Amino acid sequence: MSRKVRHVLGISGGKDSAALAMYMKTHHPEIDIEYYFSDTGKELNETYELIEELESVLGKTIIHLESNLSHKNPFDHYLDIYNGFLPSSMARWCTQKLKLEPFERWIGDDLAISYVGIRDDEDREGYVSTKPNIQSIFPFRKHIWSIEVLNKILHNTNRERVMDLYRKYGSPELMNRYSEIIGEPLTSKYLFSQKLKDLLHLSISKFNYVVFEFLKSENYPISYLKEYSLLNNEDSVDINKVYQLFKENGVKVPGYYDEIEFEINGIKGVYNRSRSGCYFCFFQRKIEWIWLYERHPDLFAKAQEYEKEGYSWMDNETLAEIIQPDRIAQIKLDYIATLQKKLNGKNKSNRLVDILADENEICANCFI
């Protein structure tokens, strides 16, 4: 049965989703992508500037999804509903209400492939929709598939089916090797990650064709496509290539990533904001709160207004406490020390924003 499949890409205001949009336009112009932005009404100005620049590079409108059009501000509307209970990493109602729900409403029951800008040098999945009619694809990674799809392909019970597909799509001269790899069950000695690596090492595109055909008999949006140009994609995009995409397209990296110098007790450091999203996002580090206080005092004051009736953005201190001079000095010194430790380790990029990238499961719609 043939059904239309939509291709959608969310712009968060972060550098990776913006780079992915530019990448798809250049490398896959044959895919008609709808770009969208879930607006919380509390984003930084740089996010809106980036969206404007991207619209001109992409030659398309980026659709603004708002969570509640009848209210003047989406975040404040839901905050009232939650009786002033501020969101936190343990209670992320904002992600659900302001990012995921508007997106899922916009898609409705349509089949959609959602392109996510998680890079090849990152080891995470991101927090994405789990609705069965929305499938996530990751064009920056060596393979483009979600962990859920990979689990199916590499599951021990599917070895025979996968081998049959390799007989059809694999290179004849490698058939013995495919058979060895696929025939060996996953155990504590032969791990999922190793098996995947072994198959990708033989050929990424052949692996993609096998997965594509495998999914034809499963109920995924991609099963409804006759062909899919990303199957031949053997590119991988890391952090350096992301910056290169900005440069090649003449788009300015959002200003909040700019490193700003500060000095404390005679020691020099630099700080910035590590990601997009709401100016008061509770995921930001203490040094980012200090950055907000010193670089955008108006926004910091607005964030402070939300701290009332015992609610605060951080677990262990309030914004009023964090900006006491001694506390600011301590946070800056701790940050310089942490950074130094990380710089001594191995990092693919020497930019602070990448060195301090978040290791949590973050929301693809807010930060990527």
CB of 112 to ligand SF4, least distance (A): 21
Distance CA 205, CA 171 (A): 11
Q: Which CB atom, from 181 or from 357, has the smaller least distance to ligand SF4?
A: 357
Distance CA 62, CA 55 (A): 6
Q: Which CB atom, from 209 or from 279, has the smaller least distance to ligand SF4?
A: 279
For residues 8 and 39, is the Cβ–Cβ distance under 8 A? Answer: no
Q: Which CB atom, from 136 or from 274, has the smaller least distance to ligand SF4?
A: 274
Q: Which CB atom, from 228 or from 279, has the smaller least distance to ligand SF4?
A: 279
Residue ranges binding ligand SF4 (CB under 6 A): 40, 87, 92, 94-95, 98-99, 277-278, 281, 283, 363, 366
CB of 144 to ligand SF4, least distance (A): 25
CB of 52 to ligand SF4, least distance (A): 20
CB of 37 to ligand SF4, least distance (A): 12
CB of 68 to ligand SF4, least distance (A): 14
CB of 331 to ligand SF4, least distance (A): 20
Q: Which CB atom, from 95 or from 233, has the smaller least distance to ligand SF4?
A: 95
Q: Which CB atom, from 13 or from 139, has the smaller least distance to ligand SF4?
A: 13
Q: Give Cα 192 distance to the centre of its chain.
A: 23
CB of 271 to ligand SF4, least distance (A): 19
Distance CA 37, CA 10 (A): 6
**Dihedrals phi, psi of 145, to nearest 5 degrees:** -95, 155
Q: Which CB atom, from 114 or from 365, has the smaller least distance to ligand SF4?
A: 365
Distance CA 259, CA 176 (A): 53
